[in-house]
Amino acid sequence: MPGVGWPELRTERLHLRRWRDADRTAFHALNSDPDVMATIGPIMSRAESDAFMNRIEHRFAEDGYGLWCIDLDGEPIGYTGYMAPWFRPGVEIGWRIRSGYWGRGYAPEAARACLDLGFRSRDDGGIGLDEVLTFTAAINAKSIRVMEKLGFERDADGDFDHPGVPSRSRLRPHVLYRMSRERWLNGR
């Protein structure tokens, strides 16, 4: 459904919405938080963070979905949503939460709303995905915990060295997890 889009999702505590220009400072704070980026990659400059937000908006325009801003009582605290990896086929779900909000269940709560939308059929107002991937650096225990909490299954045969990470980096080895529509709809 390119170009259509789902402007927002709601959970019990969170509002998942499109990013606004007024969010750019908070988005940069997320992307330049050393604790957040320690298991993801280099800290982003303001220009890099703004370019990333622009790519997110482009994906919404092209695909109808992307990375939603996680809004907690009017404050952007992170993101979750879908992207297409540039180096492999499939749709990936990802999340990033400001470190001051870790440990409160926001990432799995927001991701569940995205997975519900993603696996719901198009006839029922969803995206209609058959499978969703998620992956992270093998050392990212927090993200792996979220993946497992959501019911993703590890595909150890699919683990890989991320082609966008320098070969000597401790972030290069990645673990791959999968979720099928059938697994999600049957309660994991």
Do residues 179 and 152 lie in contact, with contact meaning Cβ atoms separated by under 8 Å? yes
Residue 2 lies in a domain: no
What residue has token string 């998942």?
16
Going by C-alpha positions, the residue among 135, 121, 127, 148 that lies closest to residue 175 is 135
Residue 3 lies in a domain: no
Q: Which residues have C-beta within 8 Å of that of residue 14, sequence separation ≥ 6?
A: 70, 71, 72, 106, 109, 110, 113
Number of domains forming the structure of the chain:
1
Residue 65 lies in a domain: yes
**Residue range of the domain that includes 60:** 8-185
Q: Look at residue 62 in the predicted model and tell me its pLDDT.
A: 87
Q: pLDDT tens, 49-64?
A: 999 999 999 988 888 8
Residue 151 lies in a domain: yes
Do residues 16 and 110 lie in contact, with contact meaning Cβ atoms separated by under 8 Å? yes
Taking each helix axis as running N to C, give the angle between helix 106-119 and helix 141-150, from 0 to 180 degrees, rounded to the nearest 10. 50
Residue 60 lies in a domain: yes
Q: pLDDT tens, 126-158?
A: 999 999 999 999 999 999 999 999 999 999 999
Across the chain, what does the average pLDDT equal?
A: 94
